[in-house]
Chains A and B, each alone.
Chain A
């Protein structure tokens, strides 16, 4: 009897936690996209007005924020710094792969970052600024979509987690 009760509690807790962690991913995505936009803006300033080398500009542009997005920029910056044979795009790709579990961003954001990486350091400042602006506009769009998706999905995943746990508990009793 007690064993059953404890098992039920564990199943319900597991379901609830699954639902909440899925909801947290949706919660996290607009935040991280907003951080990406901020980092790209300050990266543009570091490129245009401070003329820092790309690796240092990447590391400094993410200095003000916390979390996986900072790790992404710092990782990419240090990849460029430590292994000069890597192109910025390869550095971004590797950093994105490394932080795949921590980052809540989806495929479109990844593609934008890779495209940006392909153009960073390859053309002159004016052109780079154009590409940074383009990436920012695209990310703004994604940010709006992510907010809509968050409003729709966060509640649903929480409900589904709790109810799914309860349903499994009832089925197994």
Chain B
């Protein structure tokens, strides 16, 4: 795992915040919330995979099989 996933998450965060602002300015608060939720879900998918890797590594290190 490199740093690229961190940059990806940062990029998605910035874009989602811009989209949120644009939608909110246009008076579509519900769509803005939905968009934030979608961004959160995408990032969560990536993070959950990394967490899974972390747990398998911990199991491997401490021989918990």
Within 8 A of B (CB), among A114-173: 152-153, 155-156, 159-160, 163-164, 166-167, 170-171, 173
In the complex with contacts A166-B15, A167-B15, A160-B22 CB distance below 8 A = yes
CA distance A160 to B18 in the complex (A): 9
Contact of A171 among B4, B27, B42 (CB under 8 A): B42
On whether the beta carbons of B26 and A153 are closer than 8 Å, the reply is yes
CB of A165 to closest CB in B, whole Å: 10
CA distance A171 to B42 in the complex (A): 9
Chain B residues bordering chain A, tally (CB within 8 A): 15
Q: Is the interface of B mostly helix, strand, loop or mixed?
A: helix
On whether the beta carbons of B11 and A170 are closer than 8 Å, the reply is yes
- Nearest A residue to B7 via CB reads A170
CB of B40 to closest CB in A, whole Å: 13
On whether the beta carbons of A156 and B26 are closer than 8 Å, the reply is yes
B8 cross-chain contacts in A, Cβ below 8 A: 170, 173
B28 cross-chain contacts in A, Cβ below 8 A: 156
A156 cross-chain contacts in B, Cβ below 8 A: 22-23, 25-26, 28
CA distance A20 to B32 in the complex (A): 20
On whether the beta carbons of A170 and B18 are closer than 8 Å, the reply is no
Residues of B within 8 A of A (CB): 4, 8, 11-12, 15-16, 18-19, 22-23, 25-28, 42
